Amino acid sequence: MITILTKIWDSSNFHIDTSLRAKMAERTLPALLNSNLKYKRMKKKLSLLAVLLVSTLCLMAQKGAIKGRVIAADGTPVAGAIINVLQTNYNTVADDDGRFQLSNLPPGNRLLQVGALGYADYRTQVTVPENAELTLDITLQQTSVELSDITVTAPAAVYAEKRSSTASRMPITNLENPQVYTVLPKELMRAQLISDYQSALNSAPGVSNVNYGPGSGGIGLWAYMRGFNVQTATIRNGLATNFVTLSDPYNTERLEVIKGPVGTLFGTTLVSYGGLINQETKKPLGVRRGELGQQPADSRCESAGLEDAQHTVQCFLPK
């Protein structure tokens, strides 16, 4: 009885193993086919990569090089010499000792050009060896190039005023006047884009340390001439006034800088032995006329103005 049951059990176990094997074969067959396909694709990629690698190595093995030294006729190295392989993109610069090196050059006949500032250009035909290095010693000859004269001419505006009736109290020229004075006309201030008295007085010789007076809130102007302090805010049209504020520079016809003790002839305590600076304002002309001008104010805007004997209008226009 026991023997019969054992045979039945072995028989059933055999059938179970067979069915399991069949199912496993059905499942693993597509996986094996898929992995085989991936293997073939990978094999093709590796083969292509190997071909490219071998081709690159062959091309690199065919490259050549040129090295050498650039010297002058007296044997000194030519630093900074430029070495060009013509009709190619290969070039280099010699170091402080005149040495240079060009690598990865295609083999064959090449035209080499060497040049440096103060030396004549040097050209030579070379043969770049295959998978080897060519050594050259290049000697440059000094040369001098004489440049032609360059003359630059431009019109120069002259803003010299030859007369000052305020300084001399007489209609005489400055050559006839023994006094020392300088006149800054409005044309000069306009040409130099001057919009304040401090900048205008910097153009006058003999005037130094021009600044706005302390305690005046920035409205009084002080300067030094011949070592003496000069207050300029209250001398207007040759007369002493009781106003300490400066007039608008656009309303100024010109500035007269009178130097030395001759300024005391004006008979006022506002002058010193250094001299004085007189503001001469614009006068009415009796006719209707004006001026229209435009000038840059700063990097962001421009200044434009309309001016006549009675009105002055100024505006700032954005760029």
Instruction: Decide which of 66 and 271 is more confident.
Output: 66
Between the alpha carbon of residue 145 and those of residues 22, 52, 73, 83, 141, the distances in Å are 97, 53, 18, 21, 13
CA dist 70 → 75, 81, 104, 280 (Å): 9, 7, 20, 71
The arithmetic mean of pLDDT across residues 227-237, rounded, is: 72
The token pair that represents 182 in the structure block: 């300088």
User: What share of residues in the chain are helix, strand, coil (percent, to 5)?
Assistant: 25, 35, 40
Q: What angle do CA 211, 212, 216 make, to 5 degrees?
A: 160
Q: What are phi and psi of 20, to 5 degrees?
A: -65, -40
Give the whole-angstrom CA distance, residue 21 versus residue 14. Answer: 11
Q: Which residues pair with 125 in a beta bridge?
A: 111
User: Can you name the residues that pair with 66 across neighbouring β-strands?
Assistant: 102, 134
Q: Which of 49-58, 78-87, 151-160 has the highest mean pLDDT?
A: 78-87
For the sheet with 252-259, list strands across it: 180-185, 252-259, 275-281, 235-236, 239-240
CA 187 to the chain's CA centroid: 32
- C-alpha span between 119 and 124 (Å, rounded): 16
Of 258 and 61, which is predicted with more confidence?
258
84 compared with 211, residue with greater pLDDT: 84
Give the pLDDT score at 291: 65
Looking at residue 94, its pLDDT comes to 92
In this prediction the pTM is: 0.44
Average pLDDT of span 131-146: 86
Residue type, 290: G
Which stretches does DSSP call E strand in 63-215?
64-72, 82-85, 91-93, 99-105, 108-115, 122-128, 133-140, 180-185, 207-212
| pLDDT value for 247 | 66
pLDDT digit string, tens, across residues 277-297: 888 887 776 776 666 666 655
- Quick: pLDDT tens for 102-128: 988 888 899 999 999 889 899 999 998
Question: Which stretches of the chain are DSSP H helices?
Answer: 2-61, 165-168, 186-191, 197-201
How many angstroms separate the Cα of 316 from the Cα of each of 125, 138, 250, 252, 304? 67, 65, 15, 20, 6
Element (H, E) at 304: strand 301-308
Homologous superfamily in CATH for domain 64-140: Carboxypeptidase-like, regulatory domain (2.60.40.1120)
Per-residue pLDDT tens digits for 188-220: 887 777 777 778 888 888 888 877 766 555 456
Counting other chains too, the contacts that 261-265 makes at CB distance below 8 Å and 24 or more residues apart are 262/179, 262/180, 265/169
Domain 165-283 fold is Ferric Hydroxamate Uptake Protein; Chain A, domain 1 (2.170.130)
Pairing of β 133-140 and β 64-72: parallel
pLDDT at 305 exceeding the cut of 70: no
In this predicted structure, the answer to whether residue 269 has a pLDDT above a threshold of 90 is: no
Decide: 220 and 229 in contact? Cβ < 8 Å. Answer: no
Q: Are strands 64-72 and 99-105 parallel, antiparallel or unpaired?
A: antiparallel
Question: Would you state the pLDDT for residue 6?
Answer: 42
Enumerate the domain spans of the chain. 64-140, 165-283, 286-319
